[in-house]
């Protein structure tokens, strides 16, 4: 009897043997959609067979970061060095058998960092509790891919496993909106020129059993990204690559294993070398800013509110525990982002890092 893996290999072979052009785009799109659905079916069966969908972990703090990498590259040592965690450390594989959390305090932010069991080739198919590990990774705000100077060849392997698990690194979420309808078939509207034909898009929708919907596309989307949209379970996350144990020497041919978009930090967790640089890169990748509140008398510099870059004062009010916040209708801003000290702005104002805010109620003079 043909297995899911056999069927996937068969379809992949057909794709390799089919030259891509406008005439075959429609056919290749349907084949790629079938592979995506088969892999999803396989993932669901593996999770059911393992008796669960992941580790039970509680998220806390301003963001969650996950350390991902092969066994014995120093993830536990790093976690212990930069957080309050006490992860077990040993010079042998699979020292960490569960998810170990720690909190990194940096610039007023509390960043939760998880140390998870080492990822191996085949993790996305269930090897080495890979499914459970990847379920934790999918819920993170940032991924730290960590290897050491002797395992840099594992970088492409880890990237592939994350991709197979539906994790898209350093990619923006596709600018596509699907509005399901009760009738009328598939309607495609685009705000930009598309290389994909409308017939191909409609065919893909049919492959995913979407029969009545309006599909609005705002980018020149590729087949693979459109399939990701129809799958509906992809996550889009930033990442950093960490190379540990630089105290042992330089890695040969490191650039061969790095993607073009990779941000790299070389460290020695044992010697605490470059750990401050790593903390700053984590801050930058999370796109955090600090906002300070001012009352009539003083500014609280000790407890900044942590926001993501691009958030508004209204977002700050909705996320923060501030008394009587429903009465605030505008604010005065000072410092970063203010045109002049005490500028009065609406709650749609976007603060910068270091902005000082004094909220005003509707009764304020």
CATH number belonging to domain 63-171+235-286: 3.40.50.300
pTM of the model: 0.84
Distance CA 247, CA 28 (A): 48
How many Cα atoms occupy the beta-carbon half-sphere of 223 within 13 Å? 21
CATH superfamily of 289-361: Beta-grasp domain (3.10.20.30)
- pLDDT tens track for 147-182: 999 999 999 999 998 998 889 999 999 999 999 999
Is residue 198 within 8 Å of 187, Cβ to Cβ? Answer: no
123-141: buried (b, 16+ CB within 10 Å) or exposed (e) per residue?
Answer: bbbbebbbbbbbbbbbebb
Task: Label residue 279 by pLDDT band (50, 70, 90).
Answer: very high
Long-range contacts of 309-313 (CB under 8 A, 24+ apart): 309/353, 310/350, 311/350, 311/351, 312/347, 312/348, 312/349, 312/350, 312/351, 313/345, 313/346, 313/347, 313/348, 313/349, 313/351, 313/357, 313/359
Domain ranges of the chain: 63-171+235-286, 175-220, 289-361
Tokens of 102: 């720690």
- pLDDT tens track for 309-336: 999 999 999 887 777 778 889 999 999 9
Neighbours of 113 (CB within 10 A): 26
């Amino acid at each position: 009897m043909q297995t899911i893996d056999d069927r996937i290999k068969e379809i992949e072979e057909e794709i390799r043997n089919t030259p891509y052009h406008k005439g075959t785009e429609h056919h290749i799109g349907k084949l790629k959609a079938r592979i995506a659905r088969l892999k999803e079916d396989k993932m669901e069966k593996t999770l059911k067979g393992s008796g669960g969908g992941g580790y039970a972990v509680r998220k806390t703090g301003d963001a969650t970061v996950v350390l991902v990498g092969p066994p014995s590259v120093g993830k536990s040592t790093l976690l212990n060095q930069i957080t309050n965690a006490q992860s077990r450390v040993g010079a042998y594989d699979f020292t960490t058998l569960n998810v170990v959390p720690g909190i990194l305090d940096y610039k007023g932010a509390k960043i939760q960092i998880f140390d998870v069991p080492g990822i191996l080739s085949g993790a996305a198919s269930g090897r080495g509790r890979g499914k459970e590990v990847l379920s934790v990774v999918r819920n993170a705000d940032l991924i730290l891919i960590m290897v050491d100077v002797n395992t840099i060849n594992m970088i492409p392997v880890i990237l592939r496993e994350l991709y197979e698990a539906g994790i898209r690194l350093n990619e923006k979420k596709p600018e596509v909106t699907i509005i399901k309808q009760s009738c009328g078939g598939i309607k495609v509207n685009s705000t930009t020129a598309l290389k994909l034909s409308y017939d191909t898009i409609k065919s893909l929708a049919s492959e995913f059993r979407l029969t009545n919907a309006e599909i609005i596309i705002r980018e020149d989307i590729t087949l693979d990204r459109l399939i990701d949209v129809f799958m509906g379970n992809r996550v889009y996350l930033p990442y950093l690559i960490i190379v540990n144990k630089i105290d042992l020497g330089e890695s040969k041919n490191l650039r061969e294993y790095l993607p073009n978009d990779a941000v790299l930090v070389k460290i020695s967790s044992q010697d605490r070398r470059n750990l401050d640089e790593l903390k700053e890169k984590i801050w930058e990748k999370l796109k955090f800013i600090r906002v300070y509140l001012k009352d009539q008398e003083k500014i609280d510099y000790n407890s900044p509110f942590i926001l993501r870059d691009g958030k508004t004062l209204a977002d700050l009010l909705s996320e923060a525990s501030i008394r009587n916040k429903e009465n605030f209708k505008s604010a005065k801003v000072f410092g970063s982002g203010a045109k002049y000290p005490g500028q009065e702005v609406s709650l749609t104002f976007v603060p910068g890092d270091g902005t000082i805010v004094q909220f005003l109620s509707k009764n304020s003079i």
